[in-house]
Amino acid sequence: MRYNQLGRTGLFVSELCLGTMTFGGNDGIWQHIGDLQQADAERLIGRALDAGINFIDTADVYANGLAEQMTGQALKNLKVSRDSVVVATKVFGQTGDSVNARGASRFHIMDGIKASLKRMQLDHIDLYQIHGFDPATPIEETVRALDTLVQHGHVRYVGVSNWAAWQIVKALGIAERLGCARFESLQAYYTVAGRDLERELVPMLKSEGLGLMVWSPLAGGLLSGKYTREQHGEQDSRRNKFDFPPVDRTRAYTCVDAMRVMANARSVSVAQIALAWLLHQRAVTTVIVGAKKIEQLDDNIAATKVELTAEELAQLDELSKLPAEYPGWMLERQGEYRRGQLAGTRQAGR
């Protein structure tokens, strides 16, 4: 297991992060994603920690708070030393019937952190993330509220999930102007079959020094190898009950076909190849893996040992590349000469 620096911080997190969306079940979409109970959660967390995973991600809305509760209880029951694990959670989604029990307002953030700490039986959260963009709350209000939590010691670092590049950069500018804690990470969807964030978000992350946490690295199971053009998985599979995230299936199945050849050559699963592709991407800090069974988690962990060749990476890049869009193709065209100058300068410096 490798450990990567989270953004510009001095914090190091494992290249795989254990996601807890399968914990608890409950009503609505959560029953389709997973309904693991306490003993199951403890087995998964224990196995993850034994494999060297030091990073756990949850959210206050997962199973209506049950996932946080079960995560905290598991850490307590397993007698996990607090300084040996990095715990991340999120705030934004609806957590009550009140009109203000949602969003990224100071009101909801302050209520949210107290509830999350209580559910997880912790005195602080290592990474507290805004789960989505709130069009009703000024970004400055959100930034100031998060900084208050950092100053009070309830939170060590702050991050964001599912924001656009311009929104994140605006928040970073506000934080710098006010001397507030800045976002250190982005949690976003990214797979070999869904590379949209490479247009704006990846260049922004590189420019501003944010870490990238990848959610749904198997596209909701679509890249697990269970699905093909002819076979759409088992009838009770998660994808057939909860078709998310949206994926260009033609592109996805083309990638699966190529990854199956690579997997068979190594006697590993297609899922391991899909995860290994992500682990080979420089922008990625950690890949969040969720599981319902120990066998699934073990398979995911084994992906850290899969090395893809330059030829295989090039093949997958060609099969999954994004169609050219403006202004990307114009930036590529107009910047070609200057990039050449930079490359020449670097070579001369060697």
279 φ, ψ to 5°? -65, -15
In DSSP terms, 186 is beta-bridged to 160, 212
- Tell me which DSSP letter residue 280 carries: T
Cis amide linkage into residue 203, ω under 30° from 0 = no
H helix runs in the chain, sequence order: 30-33, 38-50, 66-77, 106-120, 139-151, 165-178, 201-208, 238-241, 249-266, 270-279, 294-302, 310-320, 328-334, 336-349
Check residue 285 and give left, alpha or beta (phi > 0: left; psi -120 to 50: alpha): alpha
Q: DSSP letter string over 206-223?
A: HHHT-EEEEE-TTTTTTT
Residue 286: its H or E element: strand 286-289
Nearest alpha-carbon partner for 227 in 249, 258, 196: 249
Active site residue 326: no
- Residue of 3, 62, 189, 190 marked active site: 62
d(CA 307, CA 158): 32
- In SS3 terms, 74-126 reads as HHHHCCCCHHHCEEEEEECCCCCCCCCCCCCCHHHHHHHHHHHHHHHCCCCEE
> What is the DSSP secondary structure assignment for residue 237, as one 8-state letter?
S
Bond before 246 cis per omega within 30 degrees? no
Q: Which two tokens stand for residue 87?
A: 């715990």
**CB-based contact 201:265 (threshold 8 Å):** no
What is the C-alpha radius of gyration for the chain, rounded to an integer number of angstroms? 20
DSSP assigned state of 324? P
Catalytic residues: 62
